[in-house]
Chains A and B, each alone.
Chain A
């Protein structure tokens, strides 16, 4: 899988991507190619621009210059919903669910477009067994079957994070982007989420921003280190760990903090 890096078919390519807010340049020319089926982690200190990079890729913000290609197709000028329809789905750093709707409804809504229901007003969702079954299968996967009929807003933090991942996965997108999936979690919760991520992203391309080095080294095929809007290193975990530039800029401090 590791060899499917730049030579293999790229799921996502960033080419000279830049973003400025006013005079401040947050993303300063990012080039990155992520292969099909690769698990890629983006790490870096706070304020490095990791979430901004996610927002540029998924169409939440327009980029100032540069290109983003998903399976070879240019995403310039596309809205988030159009990018999503092309097979890219993301989660958010701050939990972003439908708080007043039930857990089941949250998952079912995230299935609708992918299953071809679009803007239909002639189907009854309750009379679509494929929707109900698929939503229940996802609830089973994310361990929320027992919470099925509760409003999503009353779930515990870890449960909401699991639901967030479930919603992100549900549409069956091939490229999954997770923004700090384990942020603010206890050790046991983190282990649970990591297992979950490994399970549900089987065979898919995964791009994640993560602070927890244990998670990163356990999960990622390759790692990119983003510092002040630039990628200073990309490579396999052991390469990145050994890279003196990375150690200097970031990793040393983070690894020390782990102990």
Chain B
């Protein structure tokens, strides 16, 4: 027995083990089932948007999380990929080239990679502030080009195309959202798998090393600059794929897809999800898309709440959502996760009440100031009331203050319980 295990340890490990493949199998099943569980058109639209954002966020995290490069202009690689794909779509339609739609994102990827190759050749020489500033400059430059080079970027109205241009692929014409969903889901799985595998290659490992300590990497034979360059090019490729999928999904690409606001959004999404873990950006993209679509239907102030969430994440949970989840692996290992439920509820429930109270107060004030003259009726949390009266505002403020006060009082207990749950034995449970 020992002899065989020793031999097995020396030979090459198997390509796929069940435990390695498990997350990907689960993801495949999950993606296949989602449209069955949520068959409505609007749900599928949200899921398409989500999947595209996940690819883009994962690509962005190849820079930010894996390579330690903070880019303020990464939307250009996705945007250019998108524009190229719309042009290819139109070209194929005009000239009847037999190019099946599912391979179209590859063009987006190649052009995103091509642009990254050019920009990366000078922007990756230094990390840190220099890289960030160059990315900002290039982002602004290309966004400015979009109104100058109208033939390619289509000016303000952008470029639109028709994804049903060609012959059906295995009988699928991509007329319906659900067809597009499966196309996007396929590319999502493939891109995510490739990006994950990239992080396990020598260059992917060295990207981490260069992020941690570029100087030391240089004394180990690696040029930090080339390590950054290769990560950057790979990231540009996957951002371009996301752009191509965007073009297929929306059939229109405009300047808004590559401007600085878009670049800022992907930074926010990636950070929210957590840059320290591979799956972090996936969570970020899901959360952001949900907030963007669901919350924006409820309130005009959704961007404010998102901004506040971002600030809170940066200040208190720099590991993002993924970091927050991974903080609980030790308690789980010690079987003490249950001991946390009580203290968490004691702090988080009043905290949530406080946040909702604060949000209600903001909404009331906003309604008071911005509603049309004579319109004093508003609906909040399924109750309709007069926004000009004092009582609702007072209740909201009391809920906010009271909630935060209770949460603050219970917080030390929660911290104590967390520490206790992180010690293998002993600790007060």
| Interface residues in chain A, defined as those with a beta carbon under 8 Å from any beta carbon in chain B | 58, 60, 79-81, 84-85, 89-90, 92, 96-101, 105, 108-110, 112-114, 117-127, 129, 133, 167, 171
B375 within 8 A of partner (CB) = no
A84's partner among B203, B209, B218 (CB-CB below 8 A) is: B218
Q: Give every chain A residue within 8 A of B226 (Cβ-Cβ).
A: 119
Cβ-defined contact, A119 with B220, below 8 A:
no
Q: Which of A84, A119, A124 contacts B200 (CB 8 A)?
A: A124
From A110, A121, A122, give the contact of B230 (CB < 8 A). A121
New contact pairs (16) apart from A96-B215, A99-B212, CB-CB < 8 Å? A58-B219, A81-B217, A84-B219, A89-B220, A90-B219, A98-B209, A98-B216, A105-B209, A109-B206, A109-B217, A109-B220, A112-B202, A112-B221, A121-B203, A123-B201, A123-B202
Q: Which residues of B contact A85 (CB under 8 A)?
A: 221
B residues apposed to A, CB below 8 Å: 10-13, 15, 197-198, 200-206, 208-209, 212-213, 215-224, 226-227, 230, 234
The interface residues of chain A lying within 8 Å CB-to-CB of B198 are 121
Interchain nearest-CB distance for B397 vs A (Å) = 43
- Is the pair B220, A84 in contact by a Cβ cutoff of 8 Å? yes
Contact B222 A129 (CB under 8 A): no
Task: Judge whether A79 and B223 touch: CB under 8 Å.
Answer: yes
How close is B424's CB to chain A, nearest CB, in angstroms? 15
Among A80, A125, A127, A133, the residue within 8 A (CB) of B218 is A80
- Chain A nearest CB from B232 CB (Å) reads 13
> Known contacts being A89-B219, A109-B220, is A119 close to B13, with CB within 8 Å?
no
Can you report 24 A-B residue pairs in the complex whose CB atoms are below 8 A from each other?
A: A79-B218, A80-B215, A80-B218, A81-B217, A81-B221, A81-B223, A84-B219, A84-B220, A85-B221, A92-B216, A96-B215, A96-B216, A97-B213, A99-B212, A105-B209, A110-B220, A120-B201, A122-B201, A124-B201, A125-B205, A126-B200, A127-B12, A129-B12, A129-B13
Nearest Cβ distance between residue A103 and chain B, in whole angstroms? 13
Nearest-Cβ distance from residue A174 to partner chain B, whole angstroms? 14
Contact call B200/A133, Cβ cutoff below 8 A: no
CB-CB under 8 A from A105, the residues of chain B are: 205, 208-209
4 closest cross-chain pairs (CB), A and B: A113-B221, A117-B202, A98-B212, A80-B218
Kindly state the separation between the CA atoms of A81 and B206 in the bound complex, as whole angstroms. Answer: 13
Q: Are B221 and A114 in contact (CB under 8 A)?
A: yes
Q: How far is the CB of A178 from chain B (nearest CB, A)?
A: 12
User: By the criterion CB–CB under 8 Å, are A129 and B11 in contact?
Assistant: yes
Contact residues in A for B202 (Cβ distance below 8 Å): 112, 117-121, 123, 125
On whether the beta carbons of A171 and B201 are closer than 8 Å, the reply is no
Determine the chain A residues whose CB is within 8 A of the CB of B230 once the complex forms. 119, 121
What CA separation (Å) do A98 and B220 show in the bound complex?
12
Tell me how far the C-beta of B226 lies from the nearest C-beta in chain A, rounded to whole angstroms. Answer: 6
Q: Are A121 and B234 in contact (CB under 8 A)?
A: yes
Contact indicator B219/A101 (Cβ below 8 Å)? no
The total of interchain contacts (Cβ-Cβ below 8 angstroms) comes to: 105
A97 to B15, CA, bound (A): 31
Measured between beta carbons, the chain A residues less than 8 angstroms from B205 are 105, 108-109, 112, 125
Closest-CB distance, A110 to chain B (whole angstroms): 5
A195 smallest CB distance to B (angstroms): 24
Q: Residue on B with the closest CB to A173?
A: B221
| Residue of chain A at shortest CB distance from B212 | A98
Q: Kindly state the separation between the CA atoms of A96 and B215 in the bound complex, as whole angstroms.
A: 9
Instruction: Kindly state the separation between the CA atoms of A42 and B334 in the bound complex, as whole angstroms.
Output: 51
Chain A residues with Cβ under 8 A from B206's Cβ? 109, 112, 119
Bound-state Cα–Cα, A108 to B204, Å: 13
Candidates A97, A121, A127, A171; contact of B216 at CB < 8 Å: A97
Contact partners of B216 in chain A: CB under 8 A: 92, 96-98, 167
Q: How far is the CB of A63 from chain B (nearest CB, A)?
A: 17
**Inter-subunit contact A167/B234 (CB<8 Å):** no
CA distance in complex: A96, B205 (Å): 17
Measured in the bound complex, the distance between the Cα atoms of B17 and A137 in whole Å is 25
Taken together as a complex, chains A and B put the C-alpha atoms of A79 and B216 apart, in Å, by: 13
Please determine whether A125 and B221 come into contact, CB atoms closer than 8 angstroms. Answer: no
A residues less than 8 Å from B203 (CB atoms):
119-121
**Closest-CB distance, A51 to chain B (whole angstroms):** 14
Q: Which residues of B lie under 8 Å from residue A125 when comparing CB positions? A: 200-202, 205
Find the B residue at minimum CB distance from A115. Answer: B202
Q: Determine whether the beta carbon of B212 is less than 8 Å from that of A81.
A: no
Q: Could you tell me the distance between the alpha carbons of A136 and B145 in the complex, rounded to whole angstroms?
A: 53
Closest chain B residue, CB of each to CB of A177: B219
Most chain A CB atoms below 10 A, which of B11, B198, B216, B230: B216
Q: Is the CB of A101 within 8 A of B212?
A: yes
Q: From A117, A124, A133, give the contact of B10 (CB < 8 A).
A: A133
Question: Bound state CA distance, A119 and B201, in angstroms?
Answer: 9
Cα A120 to Cα B201 with chains together (Å): 7
Q: Given the interface contacts A98-B208, A124-B197, does A129 sit within 8 Å of B218 by beta carbon?
A: no
Query: CA separation between A133 and B6, bound complex, in Å?
Result: 12
A96 cross-chain contacts in B, Cβ below 8 A:
213, 215-216, 219
What is the CB-to-nearest-CB distance from A160 to chain B, in angstroms, rounded to a whole number? 12
Q: Min CB distance, B74 to chain A, in Å? A: 20
A126 to B13, Cβ gap below 8 A? yes
B18: min CB distance to chain A, Å: 15
Is the CB–CB distance between A81 and B213 below 8 Å?
no
Q: How far is the CA of A99 from the CA of B222 in the complex (A)?
A: 18
Please tell me which one of the listed residues A92, A122, A123, A171 contacts residue B221 in the complex, with CB atoms under 8 A apart: A171
Q: Name the A residues within 8 Å of B224 (CB-CB).
A: 81
- Give the complex CA separation of A99 and B209 in angstroms: 9
- A10 CA to B208 CA in the complex, in Å? 37
**Cα distance A113–B221 in the bound complex, in angstroms:** 6
What B residues does A114 contact at CB under 8 A? Answer: 221
Inter-chain contacts of A98 with B (CB < 8 A) = 208-209, 212-213, 216
| Given known A-B contacts A121-B201, A124-B201, A129-B11, A171 and B215 have beta carbons under 8 A apart | no
A60 to B205, CA, bound (A): 23
Report the separation of the CA atoms of residues A120 and B222 in the bound assembly, to the nearest whole angstrom.
12
Tell me which residues across on chain A come within 8 A of B222, comparing CB atoms.
Answer: 81, 112-113
A101 x B208 contact (CB < 8 A): yes
Residues of A within 8 A of B200 (CB): 124-126
